[in-house]
């Protein structure tokens, strides 16, 4: 995305989100109905965040672009030498490769991750969030009635939850840039709506569990899927460790 467009994308996304959110006929069903749909969206987003997380963690880095040197660098990662090497490698990397590298390296060294801003994470998850929002907007002229309103509502919630997947993750780690987010996440953790830091640290040890990045309530399913993929040999621990 061109850098000069970026400052407009955050307000534009939320303006479009509010516009689409205004359209469903909420009075057509009781409040409990919408709350149950919100729970469904919450669990659905959690499950898909887990599957996408497995894909990102186990996707090999491209050795030819120099990711291996970057990933296994033994010297000082705050040095000018490392920063130059990182800039050179990332300059030829795709958007997806940069995200894969960011996910893999944060398992080893979480400190730089804590310094990323709201805007940084926004643009990592923006394509998925924009796709879901566009899907909801495109359906608007095609259908009407409670069923259509319910689908819009779920798509809308999934869009805004997906958008904040990495913000939540960074706040679970104790982000230094999103202090209010950290406080909110701690509150949600206390009432059981968000995965715990302890559980997430288990994920960091071996990449075998705790992939879901919204609430963690669907981990029991995603952990089994990961175990099955490993057993089948379709993914390997060497890929998670960045050795392939």
What is the contact surface with Zn ion in residues (CB under 5 A)? 57
CB of 42 to Zn ion, least distance (A): 20
Tokens of 38: 């919100």
Separation between Cα atoms, residue 124 and residue 96, nearest integer Å: 9
Query: For Zn ion, which is the closer residue by CB, 159 or 209?
Result: 209
**Residue 166: CB minimum distance to Zn ion, A:** 10
Residue-wise DSSP of 79-101? SHHHHHHHHHHHHT--HHHHHHH
For Zn ion, give the closer residue by CB, 46 or 57. Answer: 57
Task: State how far the Cα of 169 lies from the Cα of 173, in Å rounded to an integer.
Answer: 6
Is residue 166 classed exposed, middle or buried when 0-12, 13-18 and 19+ CB atoms within 10 A define those classes?
buried
Q: Tokens 């819009």 correspond to what residue?
A: 152
| Beta carbon nearer to Zn ion, 57 or 149 | 57
Of the two residues 70 and 154, which places its CB atom closer to Zn ion in the complex? 70
Minimum distance, C-beta of residue 32 to Zn ion, in the bound complex (Å): 35
Cα separation, 25 vs 70, in Å, equals: 52
> Whole-number minimum distance, CB 54 to Zn ion, in Å?
8
Is residue 23 within 8 A of residue 198, CB to CB? The reply is no
Chain residue whose CB lies nearest Zn ion: 57
| SS3 letters across 170-211 | HHHCCCCCCHHHHHHHHHHHHCCCCCCHHHHHHHHHHCCCCC
Which structure tokens are listed for 187?
A: 């509150």
The least CB distance from residue 207 to Zn ion, in Å, is 6
Closest approach of Cβ 142 to Zn ion, in Å?
38
Name which of 105 and 133 has its Cβ closer to Zn ion: 105
């Amino acid at each position: 995305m061109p850098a000069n467009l970026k400052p407009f994308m955050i307000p534009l996304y939320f303006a479009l989100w509010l516009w689409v959110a205004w359209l469903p006929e909420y009075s057509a069903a009781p409040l409990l109905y919408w709350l149950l749909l919100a729970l469904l969206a919450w669990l659905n987003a959690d499950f898909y965040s887990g599957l996408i997380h497995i894909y990102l963690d186990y996707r090999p880095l491209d050795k030819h672009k120099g990711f291996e040197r970057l990933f296994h660098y033994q010297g000082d990662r705050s040095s000018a030498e490392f920063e130059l090497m990182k800039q050179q490698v990332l300059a030829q990397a795709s958007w997806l490769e940069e995200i894969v590298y960011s996910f893999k390296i944060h398992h080893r060294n979480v400190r730089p991750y804590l310094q990323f801003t709201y805007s940084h994470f926004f643009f990592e998850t923006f394509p998925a969030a924009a796709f879901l929002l566009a899907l909801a907007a495109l359906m608007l002229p095609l259908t009407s009635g409670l069923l259509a309103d319910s689908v819009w509502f779920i798509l809308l919630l999934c869009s805004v939850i997906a958008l904040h997947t990495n913000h939540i993750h960074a706040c679970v780690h104790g982000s230094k840039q999103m202090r209010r987010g950290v406080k909110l996440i701690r509150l949600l953790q206390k009432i059981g709506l968000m995965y715990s830091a302890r559980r997430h640290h288990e994920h960091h040890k071996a990449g075998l569990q705790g992939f879901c990045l919204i609430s963690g309530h669907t981990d029991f399913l995603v952990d089994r899927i990961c175990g099955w993929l490993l057993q089948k040999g379709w993914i390997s621990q060497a890929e998670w460790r960045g050795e392939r």
